[in-house]
Amino acid sequence: MSNAESGLNNHEVTICLAGGAVLGPFNATWSKNEGGDVRELVREYDAYLQGDKQHRFKFHLHDTYTNTVHTLILNFEQVTGICDHVRLRSNAH
């Protein structure tokens, strides 16, 4: 495993909407060097729940396993929850 891969966090993001609809799960990768919208989505939604106005509506979730990008455009008024399931890498070689 290369050094670049060892810093990856592999997320599975599911978004629950008002009325019971569900978006996802979406596989997404975030690395310490590149940052990413996975963390920003969760931070923005958490701030919204604490009373802040929504500032961002578009989030890009990069899936390095399939080399794809999921673009989500969300109105937090319609979101009832976000589940960010993180698969941690094993330190075993």
* Whole-prediction pTM: 0.80
Q: CA 46, CA 88: separation in Å to the nearest integer?
A: 22
Domain assignment of residue 63, given as a range: 3-87
According to the model, what pLDDT value does residue 32 have?
A: 67
pLDDT band for 35, please (50, 70, 90 cuts). Answer: low
Tell me whether residue 12 is in a domain.
yes
Tell me whether residue 93 is in a domain.
no
Instruction: Give the contacts of 56 (CB within 8 A, at least 6 positions apart).
Output: 40, 44
Q: Write out pLDDT tens, residues 50-93.
A: 999 999 999 999 888 888 889 999 999 999 999 999 877 666 55
Tell me whether residue 55 is in a domain.
yes
Tell me whether residue 82 is in a domain.
yes
Tell me whether residue 8 is in a domain.
yes
- Specify the number of domains making up the chain: 1
Tell me whether residue 92 is in a domain.
no
Higher pLDDT, 37 or 79: 79
pLDDT band for 2, please (50, 70, 90 cuts). Answer: very low
